Amino acid sequence: MSLQFILGGSGSGKTYRLYTELIRMSMEDADTRYIAIVPEQFTMQTQKEIVTLHPRHGVMNIDIVSFNRLAYRIFEELAIENPQVLDDMGKSMVLRNVASEKKKELVLYKEHLSKNGFISQLKSMLSELYQYGITPDMLKEELPETMSPMLKQKLFDISVMYQGFKDYIKDKYITTEEILDVFCRILPQSELIKDSVITLDGYTGFTPVQYRILGLFLRFCKKVIVTVTIDPLENMSKRAGMQELFYMSRQMIWKLNDLAKEASAIRDKDLLLMEHPAIRYKESGENQDNSLDFLEQNLYRYKGNVSKNTGAIRLIKALNPSEEISFLIHSMEEAIRRKGLRYRDMAVVTGDLGSYANEIIHQFQLNNIPFFLDDKKSILKNPMVELIRAAIEIIQKDFTYESMFRYLRTALIMKEEDKEKSDRLENYVIAMGIRGYKRWNSTWEGWYRGAKELNLEELNEFREKIIAPLSGLREAFRKEDSTVRTMTAAVTELLMELGIEEKLLAYETKFKDMGELILAKEYSQVYGLVVDLFDRLAGLLGDEHVSKKEYGEILDAGFSEIKVGLIPASLDRVVVGDITRTRLDHVKILFFIGVNDGIVPVKKEKSSLFTDREREFLGTQAIELAPTSKEEGFRQRFYLYLALTKPEQELILSYSAMDGSGKSLRSSTLIGELKKLFPDLKELIPTKDQMPLSMREAKDSLLHGLREYRMTGEDKRFLGLFKAFLLSDRYSEEGKKLLDAAFYTYEEKGIGKVAARALYGSVISGSVTRMEQYASCAYAHFLNYGLELMERQEYELAAMDIGNLFHDSIDMCFQRIREDGKDFKNLSDQERKALVHECVSLVTGEYGNTILKSSARNAYLAGKVERITDRTMWALTEQLKKGDFVPVGFEVSFSASDHLKAMRIPLSGEEAIHLRGRIDRLDLCEDEDAVYVKIIDYKSGSTAFDLSSLFYGLQLQLVVYMDAALEMEERHRPEKQVIPAGIFYYNIGDPVVDKDGDMSDEEIDRRMLKQLRMNGLVNTDLNAISHMDREIETESDVIPIAMKNGMIQENKSSIAGGKRFKALRQFVQEKLKTEGQEILDGIIDVKPYKQGNRSACDYCPYHAVCGFDLKTEGYGYRKFKSLKSEEIWPVIEGEKEAKDDGDKLDG
């Protein structure tokens, strides 16, 4: 029995020497068993290296194992049934259940149990206690009174949870940490171990239980050989402080020597590898100035040595992590071009892989750089796991929209051909506010606005298909006697009913065909991993009764622990890993990124369980735990030493000046250490001009340069790049495409008459609003009425819905007054308020599938509607009292079928415009000579009549309504002259009036009435004016008219004489004809109007479709000037031709 060390610094060839020695011995003494023990993650690589080194390229009597694999090998040899092992996943699930049971006993952690990550921290704490041999009783022992009350509470709570955990698994399971304890107990019985030769490589230290195993090896094995990373010139007999670089290595040597003495093992002569330059740097032949070898001999040694040679080491200071990765990519591509290296010759390490992983993945994929991220992948985002979690959320939250479509969007529920049905289903659910199992399990019958092609029968069939599997799950979870086992069985049944296993296999095949081998590997494993989790869950907690919420938490705890082990997709790839876990071999260039304070050295993860001070205190009480942050900091220096000495040719370190959010960052202390060793080492701050462009960046740069070329003049870099593209056989075609894209200009093409006829037919049917939209933007009209693109209807109270509530409530009030035979003008305040309350209640009660009851906000809005409707009815009746007009029609509909000339506008041949509309209120006044017509349109916004907008076609509605109303009245009263009295907007509102001094109620009402005055266009006929407001003295409270000495003040009034009203009607007809003809000619120009600060784009829902961009040549607004009435009327009356103001583009 003997012990031998192979000692040498990093890169000295310890592993190579060990394996060649192992191979030599195995060939000379083939009857002896040889066992090479390495860390779990290194087993495959070690097998490959030994097979490669072996002359026969195969091994028969050498086993390459980890400690755990060796334990299972011995269990098998001794016919010992493998113990049921509780891994991290099982621990988390058991702890979640124990936490629920023990919650009442806890003092400090009672409120922490439901917090994200706490169970994971507790699990890590228990693993640590197991690893260091700490029992619950040891935590309960009496400790000195100097112990803080907080620590006392922590120890109590942890002991309660620890004891509860041990009680739960007693005689059923052992933890992963206990496997080696069992191995220790049975190892002496093993014939495989006896007289074997055991080697250990790749370890920086051992746990207490591993040292116990090593002690047994030294008693029963022929020989134990251990490689130790340490400078052979170090004084091995001297005890070292933890601050020394090779402290861990010294500790390992001392402990193994002590074990060898206890086992009476012989100490063979150690092999000391002291050659310099070390074998790693000598073999490459690239490190001519020996700067890497100097780094290995002096880093963290504080000998005072310095080197002027820095050829193989570079420092980079980047602006942020994104630029750091960008520089890394440039350097890799340059190394491949200039040095002929392969991707496999380079590696990337960092102290915080989690922070850099996404940026690395993003940029590497963009630049087509093959890589392997040495990090196990969580399955939480896998579609199958997401489906299960969503299904349980559906049951927990009773079929909410969010949970249902989280479930449906997993891509595992529906076939590809069902995607359109799914979209229609979602639109319906959103529009109708579907939620709750009752609504999902009932036949859907209602319709929503805009649902033209809705097939309710098909939709209900699809709904039933979706809800059927979930109904079974719901029933299983609702039963009072439900257990973890029955719940898990129900989830498994759901997966089988949906055919998830087959779907995942199909995805695996698809990903393989696409070359996405990492995804293929994940999808091939995930179903088995989840089923295994279910088996363990049923076995661990099967008969436990838990709530739906608790079951979901237990399952989440299990899912969060499952990691998919991935293998590199190809041999020629860049390995990306961290400085402690990742094994790197034969790396020529190492990129060490993120060398910032807080990342390097790696900060020990903070635990809410024990602070460093508490750990130190417990250490004095014979409760030894894992290292403190201080101890871990010293250990990190050793890991940094190992990482920095990995490359054979070049070491490139980089750090960021600020993080992604712009917060400044400091460089790591490691940068200072390197500058002490290499005083001439300078930081390079890369700029875009200094860096060669990757192909993706070259394309982006060329495209940008082409766009800016005309404005910036010649740019040598840009012109050189452009020339390189055009002269390249491989990229010349792409260069031409980029040229076309950069100089793209918008051209007005239209769709032509044939396509327009196919979309619209020969007759344009619709409202005046449709024609107004065309005047606003022809392309928006095409998208809306041609392609019928619509915004998704949502189950909410939008501005338009509130407007509809006002309209319907006011209309119902006036209808009731007329039906009851009451006089509009003699309604008392009490009668009006009662009427408004009744009408608003009826309207809101029937509106929008009870949407007004769906939230407190909507309920408040319903009350607001009643208050403003009452104010509106008061104002409208007060306005009627002041004149002689009587409302005769409410929501008066008219269309082309009424054969009104105003509604049937001929174009050419068979082509025509057929309009339809609805007048909110039609008032009439009749005297001996004439019938006067007044049109009122209610607006819940701040719409004001604007002659300029009418002139440009943006506000045609009131004139068309008046035209139709006059024509209808002329039919009814052919014997009388029908005169337009006025066209008006009434803005629904409840204005606030400033009270001046002791104003009477009458004065307040008058001021309120003035603010609610209608706006529009009034006929100058004095009879018409007096019929609308008999009480005008200076300024009307009813209509936009001001008088002085019986004469109209034109500058304070909005007026038009009878001839002008007639000309206005004719002008609008011609405007509609012009627009209609353009629509049928297929004009769809992307030329929105702009008038002052307003434009057609302000509230347009089609921004993402039209591509309108002023930076692109050809796009521009039609600028509408704000014209004065004296400029407009001559054009309307035909005295003057219109200037082409509406077609001026501004680029």
Which amino acid would we find at residue 305?
N
> Residue 720's pLDDT is what?
66
pLDDT in tens, 833-861: 898 888 888 887 766 545 555 555 555 66
Cβ proximity of 390 and 555 under 8 Å? no
- What whole-number distance in Å separates Cα of residue 1054 and Cα of residue 1043? 12
Q: Based on the number of CB atoms within 10 Å of its own CB, is 281 exposed (0-12), middle (13-18) or buried (19 or more)? A: buried
Cβ proximity of 15 and 227 under 8 Å? yes
User: Is the torsion defined by CA of 1073, 1076, 1082, 1085 positive or negative?
Assistant: positive
- What whole-number distance in Å separates Cα of residue 181 and Cα of residue 619? 22
Listing DSSP states for 380-406 in one string gives TTSHHHHHHHHHHHHHHHTS-HHHHHH
Residue 672 above 90 pLDDT? yes
Backbone angles phi, psi at 916, to 5 degrees: -140, 155
- What whole-number distance in Å separates Cα of residue 1038 and Cα of residue 1029? 7
Give the list of residues 6+ apart from residue 222 with CB closer than 8 angstroms, or none. 1, 2, 32, 195, 196, 197
Give pTM, 2 decimals. Answer: 0.69
> Residue 1139's pLDDT is what?
60
Q: How confident is the model at residue 112 (pLDDT cuts 50, 70, 90)?
A: confident
Element spanning 2, H or E: strand 2-8
Distances (CA, A) of 853 to 46, 439, 863, 866: 68, 16, 12, 15
Q: Which two tokens stand for residue 179?
A: 């496997």
Q: How confident is the model at residue 239 (pLDDT cuts 50, 70, 90)?
A: confident
Element spanning 442, H or E: none
Query: Whats the size of the chain, residue-wise?
Result: 1147
Judging by DSSP bridges, how do beta strands 1089-1091 and 1117-1119 pair with one another? Answer: parallel
Cβ proximity of 213 and 184 under 8 Å? yes
Residue 240 above 90 pLDDT? no
- 433 versus 956: the higher-pLDDT residue is 956
Give the list of residues 6+ apart from residue 358 with CB closer than 8 angstroms, or none. none
What is the gyration radius of the CA atoms in the chain, in angstroms? 42
Cβ proximity of 652 and 331 under 8 Å? yes
- What whole-number distance in Å separates Cα of residue 404 and Cα of residue 413? 11
Q: How confident is the model at residue 39 (pLDDT cuts 50, 70, 90)?
A: very high
- What whole-number distance in Å separates Cα of residue 594 and Cα of residue 643? 14
Cβ proximity of 1128 and 1142 under 8 Å? no
Backbone angles phi, psi at 935, to 5 degrees: -110, 130
Give the list of residues 6+ apart from residue 285 with CB closer than 8 angstroms, or none. none
Q: Which two tokens stand for residue 959?
A: 């004139």
pLDDT in tens, 754-779: 999 999 999 999 999 999 999 999 99
Q: Based on the number of CB atoms within 10 Å of its own CB, is 331 exposed (0-12), middle (13-18) or buried (19 or more)? A: buried
Of 695, 691, 936, 709, residue with least CA distance to 807: 936
Distances (CA, A) of 992 to 566, 766, 864: 69, 38, 15
- Buried-exposed string 678-702: b where 16+ CB fall within 10 A, e elsewhere: beebeeeebeeeebebbeebbbebb
Backbone angles phi, psi at 633, to 5 degrees: -60, -40
Give the list of residues 6+ apart from residue 266 with CB closer than 8 angstroms, or none. 1, 2, 3
For residue 270, the SS3 value is coil
- What whole-number distance in Å separates Cα of residue 370 and Cα of residue 324? 18
Residue 1143 above 50 pLDDT? no
> Residue 910's pLDDT is what?
87
Judging by DSSP bridges, how do beta strands 1089-1091 and 1094-1095 pair with one another? Answer: antiparallel
Judging by DSSP bridges, how do beta strands 2-8 and 271-273 pair with one another? Answer: parallel
Residue 56 above 90 pLDDT? no
Q: Which two tokens stand for residue 541?
A: 């907690």
Which amino acid would we find at residue 437?
Y
> Residue 1029's pLDDT is what?
92
In the block, tokens 């960046």 appear at 697
Which amino acid would we find at residue 747?
E
- What whole-number distance in Å separates Cα of residue 319 and Cα of residue 340? 29
Residue 1144 above 50 pLDDT? no
Residue 100 above 50 pLDDT? yes
Q: Which two tokens stand for residue 670?
A: 């490691």
Tell me which DSSP letter residue 633 carries: H
For the segment 154-174, the average pLDDT, to the nearest whole number, is: 90
Of 771, 654, 674, residue with least CA distance to 315: 654
- What whole-number distance in Å separates Cα of residue 852 and Cα of residue 796? 9
Torsion of CA 733, 735, 741, 742, to 10 degrees: -160
Listing DSSP states for 1079-1129 in one string gives HHTT------EEETTEETTTT-TTHHHH---TTSTT--EEEPP---HHHHH
- What whole-number distance in Å separates Cα of residue 23 and Cα of residue 559? 43
> Residue 67's pLDDT is what?
95
Of 806, 798, 820, 822, residue with least CA distance to 880: 822
Give the list of residues 6+ apart from residue 687 with CB closer than 8 angstroms, or none. none
- 954 versus 620: the higher-pLDDT residue is 954
> Residue 447's pLDDT is what?
72
- What whole-number distance in Å separates Cα of residue 589 and Cα of residue 312? 9
Distances (CA, A) of 765 to 333, 781, 904, 957: 62, 13, 10, 15
Backbone angles phi, psi at 262, to 5 degrees: -60, -35
pLDDT in tens, 1080-1129: 999 999 999 999 889 999 888 888 888 888 877 888 899 998 888 888 99
pLDDT in tens, 864-886: 888 888 888 899 988 998 999 99
For the segment 1054-1066, the average pLDDT, to the nearest whole number, is: 92
- What whole-number distance in Å separates Cα of residue 985 and Cα of residue 988? 9
pLDDT in tens, 243-291: 899 999 999 999 999 999 999 999 999 999 998 888 888 755 455 678 8
Which range, of 51-60, 272-281, 447-456, averages the lowest pLDDT?
Answer: 447-456
In the block, tokens 């093409």 appear at 749
In the block, tokens 């092992």 appear at 85
> Residue 437's pLDDT is what?
92
Q: Which two tokens stand for residue 401?
A: 């929209």
